[in-house]
Chain A
Amino acid sequence: MVTHPVLVIGAGVAGLTAAVELADSGVQTVLIERNSTVGGNALDLYKAFPTDDCFYCFEGNRWRPGIRKCFYRSALLDQPNLTLKINTTLKEVTGEPGKFKVVLSIGPRYVDPVKCIMCGICMEHSKAFSLISPQCQPQAVVYNPDKADEGVARAVEECPTKAIDIEAQPSEETINVSDIIVATGYHEMQPVNVDEYGYGRIPNVITQLELARMLDPNGITGGVLTRPSDGERVKSVLMIQCVGSRDEKYYPYCSKICCIFALKHANIIALERENVSVNIVYMDIRTYDRYERYYREAREAGVNFIRGRVQRVKPSENGGIEAIVYDSLLNRYLKFDTDLFVLSSALEAPKGSEEIIKALGLRESNGFVAPADLETEENVVVGDHVYACGTALGPAEVPESVTQARAVVSKILQSRM
């Protein structure tokens, strides 16, 4: 009878699903997360396809009590088999498959999430304290020592529950685990090197994830589309697909979900925001899986699709952006005056995944984790007692990540029978 816990690396959609379902099945589970909150990239999404709902609310999770938006929270708080460790990374793995000895580096716990009541007093006194998201889990403010100012001492003093300890130190912990699940997710490429798009040089050039944050009613602009340069209302948006994807200079693969999330954003803008026109420049629209309806809806909503590429982008006199686009269907060049230029940037392996792949001796493909045996259909098996799910295996949609996480859970439960 195996009694060692299972280690899950990464608390995004895939990692959370795997951890919660293992714990629910009676398996001790340790879930580690590099950041200060769970949720991963999905935390920044206003709506996730294909349900246009909060990312975790898919059929199968709905039995859990709690408000509909945050089923996973109650599991993280109440499930005794699940231990969540935030600000934690994998330092070292020794031992043998089935009996791994894992060293975790745990970041300093400046704010005790059990004591924090998120009253916000500390945030009033110092910029070093912030709330990452109203949906964050653990539900606690985060302290950033790099931003420490004179207000910190007062914040510590006035904290009604004495939850703050700015002297906290990082620590290490060694645990024995039977299986390891890699759910390290993806990172959206920062396309600073793609000269023609001016990202990083022109303020109104943003990426799709930055747009998602802007569309989020809980975000900085309260869901209003404004130009980052001057805060003016956005009247037109130009999107460009395949930035860094299907490009031998960056990533040769198709990032698989950019078309759908661009269409999702285009539909939100065209249907939920008043008088904003949307143009999408593409080479191919690929609505992977069953999502052709997003494309159809976008066309019906009046979104303009231009097959071609962008010739040049420069700031315009009225504070927006002037973009010249080559329309390959018409064999003509079109000049757009737009407020936001949104890049559908490639999804790449996140920082640190190289080290994890090396530490666990896994196969690699374009920076992502590759299945141990490419001949089988068991994509989630990446090593002996080592599994991967979600975008750690390459770009994937939310339902796919959830399905893979469940496949991993099923594999582990079968191995323990």
Chain B
Amino acid sequence: MAETKDKIDPPVTLVEPIDMSRLDSSFRKEIQSMPDGNELNACFACSTCTAACPIANQWTYKPHQLIRMILLGMREEVLSSKEIWECLTCFQCQERCPQNVRVTDILFDCKNLAAEEGKVPDSIKGLAKELIEKGQLYVITADWEREDLDLEPEVPGMSTDEFREILKATRTGKIVGGE
């Protein structure tokens, strides 16, 4: 509050900043209220999660940045990111986090929220479709491995019909356009 003589403002720059007032400050609370988000606020941005991540070198947003973005309220960018879907769920980040932030689980929460809003990448939709149609992602075939192990070519009693029905009624069904 001390007074000094007038000074000239710093020069105008070409920076286009993110306007904090346009972000969704409730996003943090939304994630926090989800089953694994209660330790979200504990993040102090050490970036241990990113150091542990086997895939983050290919990502635009690293795991610690995704957590920062959640805390800042960058809902749109987080839920539309490809990164949350590319997570390998190896849980290395979560295991190593010094503040017990459940990073992997929080990325699951983000995926659930994104799916609720229909923001699911086509590759994931393809997998869901496969599940709904076949009841399994990898169809067991009569191949040489089974032969080598002296197993019958067909899995006895294998039926995915019921499972397909159940999946259709879940959010997996919703992803492919069911109700």
Contacts and interface: CB of A to CB of B under 8 A. Distances in A.
Interface of A: 190, 192, 195-196, 198-201, 203, 206, 210, 228, 277, 285, 295-296, 299-300, 302, 304-307, 311-312, 314, 324-325, 327, 329-330, 332-337
Interface residues of B, number: 30
Contacts of B42: 296, 299-300
B8 to A, nearest CB: 8
B41 interface: yes
B69 interface: yes
Contacts of B9: 312, 314
Chain B binding surface, main DSSP class = loop
A336 B20 contact: yes
A324 B15 contact: yes
Contacts of A299: 41-44
B17 A196 contact: no
Contacts of A228: 1
Given A196-B10, A228-B1, A330-B68, 15 more contacts: A192-B4, A195-B10, A200-B1, A201-B7, A299-B44, A300-B42, A304-B71, A304-B72, A311-B10, A324-B17, A329-B45, A329-B64, A332-B18, A334-B18, A335-B17
A304 B4 CA distance: 31
Which of A192, A277, A314 lies at the interface centre, i.e. has the most chain B CB atoms within 10 A of its CB?
A192
Nearest to B69: A330
Nearest to A200: B4
Contact of B68 (A192, A324, A327): A327
A337 B20 contact: yes
Contacts of A302: 28, 41
A263 B25 CA distance: 21
11 contacts: A192-B4, A201-B6, A210-B1, A300-B41, A311-B10, A314-B9, A329-B47, A332-B17, A334-B72, A335-B17, A335-B19
Contacts, number: 74
Contacts of A300: 41-42
Contacts of A329: 45, 47, 64-65, 68
Nearest to B73: A304
Contact of A190 (B2, B68, B72): B2
B45 A307 contact: yes
Given A299-B41, A299-B44, A333 B2 contact: no
A355 B42 CA distance: 47
A342 to B, nearest CB: 12
A333 B18 contact: yes
Nearest to A302: B41
B4 to A, nearest CB: 4
Contact of A334 (B1, B4, B17, B41): B17
A240 to B, nearest CB: 15
A324 B72 CA distance: 15
B16 A312 contact: no
Contacts of B3: 200
B13 interface: yes
A132 B128 CA distance: 72
A192 B18 CA distance: 28
Give me the 10 closest cross-chain CB pairs, A-B, nearest first. A333-B17, A200-B4, A335-B17, A200-B2, A299-B41, A333-B15, A192-B4, A335-B19, A324-B17, A312-B10
A210 B44 CA distance: 27
